[in-house]
Amino acid sequence: MEYIVVFVDVDLAIIGGGIVGLACGAAFARAGKSTVVLERHRALGTETSSRNSEVIHAGLYYTPGSLKATTCVRGASLLYEWCASHAVPHARCGKLVVATSDDEITRLDGLAENARANGAHVEIIDAARARMLEPNVACLAALWSPNTGIVDSHALVARIAADMKDHDGVIALGRTVMGASRARDRWMLECDGVAGRERVDASFVVNAAGLHADDVASLFGVDADARGLRQRFVKGSYFRCKRAVVKRLVYPLPSAEGLGVHATIDLAGGVRFGPDTSPARSRDDYAVDESRAHAFGESVRRYVPDLRDDDLVADMAGIRPKVAGGDFVILPDEGAVHLAGIESPGLTAALAIAERVVMLGS
């Protein structure tokens, strides 16, 4: 089959135009590498990057020394600096993680120890102080994380993409990578593109394909199961609240299923609850079941007791890619690096993940 060779002899090809792929692309472009990002959609950041809580995490939950912990803490520092210097809307609003029963207070102490081991600044506060911060929240005690914040994820994606372009990087939308072959220390990527079948030749490839990262890895001859790249998908729905019942982020204590249905705010002061956890029927299972409002209400009333079911309106859903080990996977391979399991705190960690990828690709 004949291919149109659209990008010849680039240093870097990055598969995936979400926040992590763009962060990698911008970092390589700033380093003077000829770089192209290949995104299958006709817009950037349309999957996990824009279907999340938009939280800048401080590093409370993750196993000390894990990739999630180290890239989250480093990434949060880089992200606050980036947002401030590039006029990306954000706020260091702080977060409460609440204990609503006696047995949860001990778990709260354990979470505080874990957070401090990761380098996060936290303190345990009593119910009276928590009530001063959030009058509508009921708890026995809370962990206060002043460095947790929020960011406009759409503006962040757009600004990082602009930075990449400012350093002569190229973003190619509507390109789906269908095959990869290696010859003379280079990768030749076969794409379905806007002009038909296209080919991209690159010295190094970053697989930042998000929900499709394990399938893309197989195109490079990588056994996703054997190398820990195989992903499973969990759906999380969100409901928006008609009332501004909180002014900060409020989370229950995490469980084996995740961080729980928590309260987040946006930069306009709106409140949203989520995500819950349910099996994803597909990688684009984004419909929100409005009948889940009562279950959401029951979860949230543990810490916002006066919330009514009719305060809630179905908002959006996102899909979280999970791998067996539970941590991020950054897997170097011959002339490539594969990223998998980049769920929360992937938005926070993106710039730190890019740092690591640049070191692998230099």
Which domains does the chain carry?
Answer: 4-51+154-230+325-361 (3.50.50.60), 95-146+231-323 (3.30.9.10)
Mean pLDDT, rounded, of the chain = 95
CB neighbour burial string for 83-102, b if at least 16 within 10 angstroms, e if fewer? beeeebebeebbbbbbbbee
Amino acid at residue number 158: A
Phi, psi of 90 (to 5 degrees): -160, 170
In the predicted structure, residue 4 carries a pLDDT above the cut 90: no
Per-residue pLDDT of 298-348, as tens digits, reads 999 999 999 999 999 999 999 999 999 999 999 999 999 999 999 999 999
pLDDT recorded at residue 137: 98
Q: What is the model's pLDDT at position 8?
A: 66
Contact between 74 and 80 under an 8 Å Cβ cutoff? The reply is no
Which pair of structure tokens corresponds to residue 318?
A: 């996102």
Percent of the chain predicted with pLDDT > 90: 93
Q: Where are the beta strands (DSSP E) in the chain?
A: 4-15, 35-39, 55-56, 90-91, 95-99, 123-126, 141-145, 149-151, 170-173, 176-183, 186-193, 196-207, 231-241, 249-252, 262-265, 271-274, 278-279, 312-323, 329-333, 336-340
Q: Residues 171, 165: contact at Cβ < 8 Å?
A: yes
Per-residue pLDDT at 7 exceeds 70: no
The two structure tokens encoding residue 142:
């809370």
Q: 258: which DSSP letter?
A: B
C-alpha distances out from residue 285 to 19, 113, 225, 290, Å: 20, 37, 23, 14
- Predicted TM-score (pTM) of the model is 0.96
Residue 5 has pLDDT above 60, yes or no: no
State the Cα–Cα distance between residues 346 and 47, nearest whole angstrom. 12
Burial of 340 (0-12, 13-18, 19+ CB in 10 A): buried
**346 touches 220 (CB < 8 A):** no
Task: Check: CB of residue 237 under 8 Å from CB of residue 245.
Answer: no
Cα–Cα distance for residue pair 107/113, rounded to 1 Å: 10
| Mean pLDDT in residue range 228-249 | 97
Cα–Cα distance measured from residue 196 to residue 176, given in angstroms and rounded to the nearest whole number: 11
The DSSP call for residue 155 is H
CB 354 within 8 A of CB 26: yes
The tens digit of pLDDT for each residue in 61-107 reads: 999 999 999 999 999 999 999 999 999 999 999 999 999 999 999 99
Above 70 in pLDDT, residue 133? yes
Could you tell me which residue, 184 or 357, shows the higher pLDDT? Answer: 357
- Per-residue pLDDT at 178 exceeds 70: yes
Q: Which amino acid is at 250?
A: V
**Contact between 322 and 233 (Cβ < 8 Å):** yes
- Residue-level pLDDT at 1: 47
> Helices 346-361 and 19-30 sit at what angle, rounded to 10 degrees?
40
In this predicted structure, what is the pLDDT of residue 228?
96
Return the amino acid letter for 332: P
Geometric angle at alpha carbon 266, from 353 and 111, rounded to 5°: 60
